[in-house]
Amino acid sequence: MIRPLGINDPRANMTVMAVVFAVIGVTLLLQPQRYADTPSYGNLLAIARPQTWAVVYLTIAALKGVCVWRYRRSRALIIVTHTLSIMLVAAWLAAFLVRYATDSGTTIVNVASWSVYLYLLIRSALRVDEHAAIEDGP
Protein backbone atom coordinates (compact mmCIF):
# COMPACT_ATOMS: atom_id res chain seq x y z
CA MET A 1 0.00 0.00 0.00
CA ILE A 2 1.23 3.49 -0.85
CA ARG A 3 1.17 5.95 2.06
CA PRO A 4 -0.76 9.15 1.16
CA LEU A 5 1.70 11.81 0.01
CA GLY A 6 4.60 9.50 0.86
CA ILE A 7 7.71 9.38 -1.31
CA ASN A 8 6.17 6.76 -3.62
CA ASP A 9 2.79 8.46 -3.92
CA PRO A 10 2.47 10.24 -7.29
CA ARG A 11 0.64 13.06 -5.53
CA ALA A 12 3.88 13.93 -3.72
CA ASN A 13 5.50 15.20 -6.94
CA MET A 14 2.32 17.05 -7.89
CA THR A 15 2.29 18.71 -4.48
CA VAL A 16 5.93 19.77 -4.67
CA MET A 17 5.49 21.18 -8.17
CA ALA A 18 2.25 22.95 -7.16
CA VAL A 19 4.23 24.71 -4.43
CA VAL A 20 7.03 25.58 -6.88
CA PHE A 21 4.53 26.96 -9.41
CA ALA A 22 2.75 28.95 -6.68
CA VAL A 23 6.02 30.46 -5.44
CA ILE A 24 7.06 31.42 -8.97
CA GLY A 25 3.60 32.86 -9.63
CA VAL A 26 3.52 34.89 -6.43
CA THR A 27 7.00 36.32 -7.01
CA LEU A 28 6.12 37.21 -10.60
CA LEU A 29 3.05 39.02 -9.29
CA LEU A 30 4.59 40.75 -6.28
CA GLN A 31 8.14 41.32 -7.57
CA PRO A 32 7.85 41.86 -11.34
CA GLN A 33 10.80 44.25 -11.37
CA ARG A 34 13.12 41.52 -10.09
CA TYR A 35 12.36 39.52 -13.21
CA ALA A 36 12.63 42.59 -15.44
CA ASP A 37 16.05 43.38 -13.93
CA THR A 38 17.34 39.84 -14.53
CA PRO A 39 18.67 39.54 -18.11
CA SER A 40 18.08 35.78 -18.35
CA TYR A 41 14.32 36.43 -18.20
CA GLY A 42 14.46 38.90 -21.10
CA ASN A 43 13.23 36.41 -23.73
CA LEU A 44 10.29 35.41 -21.55
CA LEU A 45 9.28 38.97 -20.72
CA ALA A 46 9.35 39.77 -24.44
CA ILE A 47 6.56 37.21 -24.84
CA ALA A 48 4.39 38.26 -21.88
CA ARG A 49 4.46 40.60 -18.89
CA PRO A 50 5.38 39.17 -15.47
CA GLN A 51 1.78 39.53 -14.30
CA THR A 52 0.57 37.42 -17.23
CA TRP A 53 3.12 34.71 -16.45
CA ALA A 54 2.02 34.95 -12.79
CA VAL A 55 -1.58 34.20 -13.69
CA VAL A 56 -0.48 31.19 -15.76
CA TYR A 57 1.70 29.80 -12.97
CA LEU A 58 -0.89 30.41 -10.25
CA THR A 59 -3.65 28.84 -12.36
CA ILE A 60 -1.59 25.70 -12.93
CA ALA A 61 -0.62 25.59 -9.24
CA ALA A 62 -4.31 25.74 -8.30
CA LEU A 63 -5.16 23.02 -10.82
CA LYS A 64 -2.42 20.83 -9.37
CA GLY A 65 -3.89 21.41 -5.92
CA VAL A 66 -7.30 20.29 -7.15
CA CYS A 67 -5.70 17.23 -8.74
CA VAL A 68 -4.06 16.25 -5.44
CA TRP A 69 -7.25 16.88 -3.49
CA ARG A 70 -9.55 15.02 -5.90
CA TYR A 71 -6.97 12.50 -7.07
CA ARG A 72 -9.27 9.53 -7.69
CA ARG A 73 -11.94 11.58 -9.44
CA SER A 74 -9.95 13.88 -11.68
CA ARG A 75 -8.06 11.74 -14.23
CA ALA A 76 -8.84 14.09 -17.15
CA LEU A 77 -7.84 17.14 -15.10
CA ILE A 78 -4.60 15.43 -14.06
CA ILE A 79 -3.74 14.78 -17.72
CA VAL A 80 -4.60 18.36 -18.74
CA THR A 81 -2.67 19.82 -15.81
CA HIS A 82 0.43 17.73 -16.50
CA THR A 83 0.26 18.65 -20.18
CA LEU A 84 -0.02 22.37 -19.42
CA SER A 85 2.77 22.17 -16.84
CA ILE A 86 5.14 20.34 -19.17
CA MET A 87 4.42 22.75 -22.03
CA LEU A 88 5.00 25.80 -19.81
CA VAL A 89 8.23 24.53 -18.28
CA ALA A 90 9.51 23.31 -21.66
CA ALA A 91 8.88 26.79 -23.10
CA TRP A 92 10.74 28.47 -20.24
CA LEU A 93 13.57 25.94 -20.55
CA ALA A 94 13.79 26.68 -24.29
CA ALA A 95 14.01 30.41 -23.55
CA PHE A 96 16.84 29.77 -21.08
CA LEU A 97 18.61 27.52 -23.58
CA VAL A 98 18.40 30.22 -26.25
CA ARG A 99 19.68 32.81 -23.80
CA TYR A 100 22.55 30.54 -22.72
CA ALA A 101 23.50 29.77 -26.33
CA THR A 102 23.44 33.41 -27.43
CA ASP A 103 24.82 35.27 -24.39
CA SER A 104 28.28 34.41 -23.10
CA GLY A 105 27.46 36.22 -19.84
CA THR A 106 24.68 33.78 -18.96
CA THR A 107 25.37 30.79 -16.71
CA ILE A 108 24.01 27.27 -17.04
CA VAL A 109 22.13 27.48 -13.72
CA ASN A 110 18.70 28.31 -15.16
CA VAL A 111 19.04 25.62 -17.83
CA ALA A 112 19.95 23.04 -15.19
CA SER A 113 17.20 24.12 -12.76
CA TRP A 114 14.46 24.14 -15.36
CA SER A 115 15.66 20.79 -16.71
CA VAL A 116 15.10 19.35 -13.22
CA TYR A 117 11.62 20.91 -13.06
CA LEU A 118 10.80 19.36 -16.43
CA TYR A 119 12.11 15.98 -15.26
CA LEU A 120 9.94 16.16 -12.10
CA LEU A 121 6.85 16.99 -14.15
CA ILE A 122 7.45 14.14 -16.58
CA ARG A 123 8.16 11.78 -13.66
CA SER A 124 4.94 12.89 -11.98
CA ALA A 125 2.94 12.22 -15.15
CA LEU A 126 4.48 8.77 -15.55
CA ARG A 127 3.96 7.91 -11.87
CA VAL A 128 0.29 8.85 -12.07
CA ASP A 129 -0.17 6.48 -15.03
CA GLU A 130 1.78 3.73 -13.28
CA HIS A 131 -0.20 4.21 -10.07
CA ALA A 132 -3.51 4.11 -11.94
CA ALA A 133 -2.49 0.89 -13.70
CA ILE A 134 -1.58 -0.76 -10.36
CA GLU A 135 -4.85 0.40 -8.76
CA ASP A 136 -6.98 -0.73 -11.73
CA GLY A 137 -5.32 -4.14 -11.89
CA PRO A 138 -5.25 -6.51 -14.89
Residues 6 or more apart whose CB falls under 8 angstroms from that of 28 comprise 35, 50, 51, 53, 54, 57
Using one digit for the tens of pLDDT, what is the confidence trace for 6-30? Answer: 666 778 888 889 999 999 999 999 9
CA distance 111 to 118: 10
Reply yes or no on whether the pLDDT at 133 is more than 50.
Answer: no
The pLDDT tens digits for 38-70 are: 888 888 999 999 999 999 999 999 999 998 887
Q: How far apart are CA 44 and CA 35, in angstroms?
A: 10
CA distances from 99 to 42, 70, 86, 93, 117 (A): 8, 39, 20, 10, 18
- Contacts within 8 Å (CB) and 24+ apart, 47-52: 47/95
So where are the chain's domains?
A: 10-136
Rounded to whole angstroms, how far apart are CA atoms 108 and 93?
A: 11
pTM: 0.85
Residue 131 has pLDDT above 80, yes or no: no
